[in-house]
C-alpha cells in the first residue's frame, strides 16, 4: 500500500495505513503482561453519584462495566432503538495481542513517604519525576503543556498516598454513554469535572504495525475507526510500532467523539513500565466540564494539502462537533 498523509495526530508525517488512518501520537506501554483480555466480571456495581436517567429512553444498559469501575457506567439511547454493538466487550486494562511482548522497564525511586513532599527525602530529586512534577495538591495537572506524564510505580519505595500516583487510582468522575443525534454513541459527564483532572484512559488490544495495517484497511471498509497509534515510531518509516485497537475490546474512551474545540487533552503516561513504545494514553479535562456535557478530544485530522474542504467524496465524514471554530470535516479523502 502506498504512503498517504495521515489524517489524525501524525499530521505532516507520512503514514502507510489506509484511507482512514488511526488516532495516535505519543509513546507506548502496556499495562498488562497477560495476553488474555480482562473482560468485566460480574461483581456488584459500586455506589454512584450520578442521577437516574431523565425522560424516556429506548434502550438502556445499567452498567456496561459490570461493576469494574467505581461507578455504574450506564449506556442510554434516547434517539433510536439501537443497542451498543454486541461485538464490543468492556475491559479495564489494555492487553498485548499476539506477538507483542511488553518490555518491563519499571521506574523506581527510593523516596520515603510522599515524593511530592518537600519535607522528606524525595524533594525535587525523586527519580520518577523525570525533570518535573506533574500534579498539584488536588491531583490535578499543574498545567496542560506536558506531553508525557511519569507516575511512581508499584516498585517505588514511596507510600501509596504519594502524590505522584493519580492515574493509577483510576477514573473518579462518573461518566455515561449516550446516543447522539449525529455522531453515533458519545460519552458525557455525570458530575462536574474541574479543569486539569484525570478523566479516563484509552484501552484496548495492543497490536503491532503489520496487524494494525491489515486491520486498518478492513475497518476502513466498514467505516470503523477505533485505532490509536502509540508514539514509539519506527525511525525509518515514521510509522507507529504499536497501536491500540479498541474496536472489539475497550472501555468508555473508544466512544469519545471528536470536537474541533475539545474539553479533553490526551497525554502519554508511564507507570508500570517506561517502555517508550507503550505509553498509556490518558485523557485529562482541559477546561471545566459541566454535568451532562459531552466529552470530546481533537482527532487532529488536517485536510490534505490542495483540498479546500468543498465537495463531498464518498467516505468523507462531515464534522458535527458544532463548535464555533469547527473545521467542517472529520475525515476527507486526500
Ligand atoms: C472513535 S469513534 C467515536 C464513537 C462513535 N460515535 C461510536 O458510536 O462508536 C469515531 C467515529 O465517531 C463518529 N464521530 C466522532 N466525532 C464526530 C464528529 N465530530 N462529527 C461526526 N462524526 C463523528 C465518526 O463516525 C467517527 O468515525
Ligand atoms: Zn512516589
Ligand atoms: Zn520518589
Ligand atoms: Zn517513584
Ligand atoms: Zn468540528
Taking only the tens of pLDDT, the chain with its 334 residues reads 332 223 333 333 333 333 344 664 333 333 333 344 544 433 332 334 445 455 677 888 999 999 999 999 999 999 998 999 999 999 999 999 998 998 888 889 988 899 988 766 555 678 887 667 899 999 999 999 998 999 999 999 999 999 999 999 999 999 999 999 999 999 999 999 999 999 999 999 999 999 999 999 999 888 888 999 997 655 566 667 899 999 999 999 999 999 999 999 999 999 998 888 999 999 999 999 999 999 999 998 766 655 555 667 767 888 999 999 998 888 876 5
Q: Are 255 and 69 in contact (CB under 8 A)?
A: no
Ligand 1 contacts CB of residue 134 (under 6 A) = no
* Pocket lining: 226 vs ligand 1, CB cutoff 6 Å: yes
What was the pLDDT predicted at 19? 35
Give the ligand at the shortest distance from the Cα of 185.
1
Reported pTM:
0.85
User: Could you say which ligand is closest to the alpha carbon of residue 128?
Assistant: 4
Q: What is the residue whose three cell numbers read 495492543? A: 206
Beta bridge partners of 239: 234
CA distances, 224 to each of 1, 27, 248, 285 (Å): 19, 23, 11, 26
Residues present in the chain in total:
334
CATH topology of domain 26-308: Beta-clip-like (2.170.270)
SS3 call for 210: helix
| Interval between CA 274 and ligand 2 midpoint (Å) | 15
For residue 139, report the distance from its CA to the centre of ligand 4, in Å: 16
C-alpha 287 to ligand 2 mean position (Å) = 27
Neighbouring residues of 54: CB distance < 8 A, sequence distance ≥ 6: none
**Residue located nearest, by CA, to atom 27 of ligand 1:** 225
Ligand closest to CA 155: 4
Q: What is the C-alpha to C-alpha distance for residues 184 and 178, in angstroms, rounded to an integer?
A: 9
CB 320 near ligand 1, within 6 Å: yes
Nearest CA to ligand 1 atom 22: 183
Strands (DSSP E) along 133-184, which ranges? 148-150, 175-179
User: Measured between alpha carbons, how far is residue 19 from residues 186, 216, 299, 315 in Å?
Assistant: 23, 9, 15, 9
Q: Residue 207: which of 249, 237, 254, 266 has the closest Cα?
A: 249
Distance CA 150, CA 127 (A): 10
Residue 33 CA, ligand 3 centroid: distance in Å:
24
Task: Note residues around ion ligand 2 (Cβ under 5 angstroms).
Answer: 115, 152, 156, 158, 162, 164
Alpha helix ranges (H) inside the chain: 209-222
**Rounded distance between C-alpha atoms, residue 6 and residue 221, angstroms:** 17
257 lines ligand 1 (CB under 6 A): yes
Amino acid at each position: 500500500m502506498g504512503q498517504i498523509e495521515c489524517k489524525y495526530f501524525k499530521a505532516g508525517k507520512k503514514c502507510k495505513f489506509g484511507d482512514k488512518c488511526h488516532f495516535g501520537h505519543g509513546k507506548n506501554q502496556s499495562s498488562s503482561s497477560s495476553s488474555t483480555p480482562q473482560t468485566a466480571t460480574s461483581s456488584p456495581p459500586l455506589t454512584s453519584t450520578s442521577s437516574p436517567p431523565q425522560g424516556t429512553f429506548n434502550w438502556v444498559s445499567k452498567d456496561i462495566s459490570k461493576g469494574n469501575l467505581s461507578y455504574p457506567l450506564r449506556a442510554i439511547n434516547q434517539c433510536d432503538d439501537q443497542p451498543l454493538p454486541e461485538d464490543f466487550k468492556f475491559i479495564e486494562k489494555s492487553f498485548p495481542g499476539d506477538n507483542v511482548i511488553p518490555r518491563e522497564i519499571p521506574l523506581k525511586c527510593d523516596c520515603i513517604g510522599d515524593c511530592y513532599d518537600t519535607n522528606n527525602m524525595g524533594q525535587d530529586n525523586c527519580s520518577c519525576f523525570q525533570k518535573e512534577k506533574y500534579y498539584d495538591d488536588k491531583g490535578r495537572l499543574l498545567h496542560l503543556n506536558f506531553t508525557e506524564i511519569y507516575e511512581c510505580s508499584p516498585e517505588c519505595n514511596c507510600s501509596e498516598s504519594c502524590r505522584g500516583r493519580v492515574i493509577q487510582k483510576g477514573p473518579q468522575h462518573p461518566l455515561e454513554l449516550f446516543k447522539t443525534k449525529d455522531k453515533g454513541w458519545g460519552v458525557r459527564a455525570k458530575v462536574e469535572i474541574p479543569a486539569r483532572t484525570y478523566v479516563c484512559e484509552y484501552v484496548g488490544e495492543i497490536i503491532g504495525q503489520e496487524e494494525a495495517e491489515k486491520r486498518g484497511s478492513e475497518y476502513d471498509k466498514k467505516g470503523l475507526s477505533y485505532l490509536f497509534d502509540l508514539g514509539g515510531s519506527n525511525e525509518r518509516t515514521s510509522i507507529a510500532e504499536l497501536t491500540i485497537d479498541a474496536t472489539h475490546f475497550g472501555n468508555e474512551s473508544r466512544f469519545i467523539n471528536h470536537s474541533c474545540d475539545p474539553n479533553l487533552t490526551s497525554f502519554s503516561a508511564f507507570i508500570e513500565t517506561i517502555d517508550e513504545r507503550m505509553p498509556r494514553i490518558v485523557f485529562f479535562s482541559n477546561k471545566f466540564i459541566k454535568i451532562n456535557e459531552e466529552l470530546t478530544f481533537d482527532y487532529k485530522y488536517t485536510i490534505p494539502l490542495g483540498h479546500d474542504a468543498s465537495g463531498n467524496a464518498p467516505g468523507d465524514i462531515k464534522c458535527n462537533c458544532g463548535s464555533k471554530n469547527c473545521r467542517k470535516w472529520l475525515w476527507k479523502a486526500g
